[in-house]
Amino acid sequence: MTKSRRLPFIDLTRFLAIFLMIIFHLTYDLNFFGIKIFSQKFTLFWHWLPRFIVFLFMLAVGMSIGAKKNPAMTESFNKSQIKILLGALLISLVTYFLYPSRWVYFGTLHCIFLSRYIVIWISRYSKTCLLLFFLINIPLFFGIKYPWFNLSHQSMDYIPLLPWVSYAFLGVFLSQTNLPNFGHKLAEVTIIKKMSTNSFWIYLVHQPLLFGLSYLIYVLLKTLN
């Protein structure tokens, strides 16, 4: 597998995660300005959609590492890790000053950063990764929660290592099937390819842009009324 080759299903997974994230945050921001799209009681949207989005991100993390012929902590991997770490720290810093009562101390990027270090060590053993996926998730059905460091405030984005790293393990296992090659024609659609390729940068900048857009919509509706 060459470095330049992109696997379509991984691109589609990233695209779907980014697309749903934009929909969710746009709705969240509009709701902040009093423009209600979904009722707060609609748990399928407010509770389960963001969790499904993180699941897709973690799945893509596992698949992208597992699909490599010889996954290792190469210079390219380390550069990606530095980029992810800086992005995570930026999010923590910005949210600390803008939302001090809900700032993000261990969110999606933080979890991805740590998970990649864990997953890459066992990515050669896809069946072990599948076993770990089940072992981590089975206790959840019995109401068992895993401990993780928890600050006193309620974070806007709190994604503890367990159970979320398990979905990256699942991604490693799926990378050894034919699934990553699925959806070639669809993945060639320009907007899907562009959004998947630039998913990290979209992740960082989309919320400020959506918040500004939501404010403009709020001002426009207020003016019209």
- 69-82: per-residue pLDDT in tens? 777 778 889 999 99
- How many structural domains is the chain composed of? 1
Domain interval for residue 46: 8-224
In a domain, 170, yes or no: yes
Q: How far apart are CA 129 and CA 58, in angstroms?
A: 13
Q: What is the pLDDT along the chain (225 residues), one digit of tens a residue?
A: 334 467 899 999 999 999 999 999 999 999 989 998 888 788 889 999 999 999 999 999 999 999 887 777 788 899 999 999 999 999 999 999 988 999 999 999 999 999 999 999 999 999 999 999 999 999 999 999 999 988 889 999 999 999 999 999 999 999 999 888 888 888 888 999 999 999 999 999 999 999 999 999 999 998 887
In a domain, 64, yes or no: yes
Query: Which residues have C-beta within 8 Å of that of residue 158, sequence separation ≥ 6?
Result: 104, 105, 106, 107, 150
In a domain, 92, yes or no: yes
3-state secondary structure string across the chain: CCCCCCCHHHHHHHHHHHHHHHHHHHHHHHHHCCCCCCCCCCHHHHHHHHHHHHHHHHHHHHHHHHCCCCCCCCHHHHHHHHHHHHHHHHHHHHHHHHCCCCCCCCCHHHHHHHHHHHHHHHCCCHHHHHHHHHHHHHHHHHCCCCCCCCCCCCCCCCCCHHHHHHHHHHHHHHHCCCHHHCCHHHHCCHHHHHHHHCHHHHHHHHHHHHHHHHHHHHHHHHHHC
In a domain, 48, yes or no: yes
In a domain, 115, yes or no: yes
**Alpha carbon distance, N-terminus to C-terminus of the chain:** 58
Q: How far apart are CA 218 and CA 33, in angstroms?
A: 6
pLDDT tens sequence across 112-157: 999 999 999 999 999 999 999 999 999 999 999 999 988 889 999 9
Q: How far apart are CA 119 and CA 165, in angstroms?
A: 8
In a domain, 146, yes or no: yes
In a domain, 3, yes or no: no
- From residue 82, how far is each of 78, 132, 138, 153 by CA, in Å? 6, 27, 33, 27
In a domain, 66, yes or no: yes
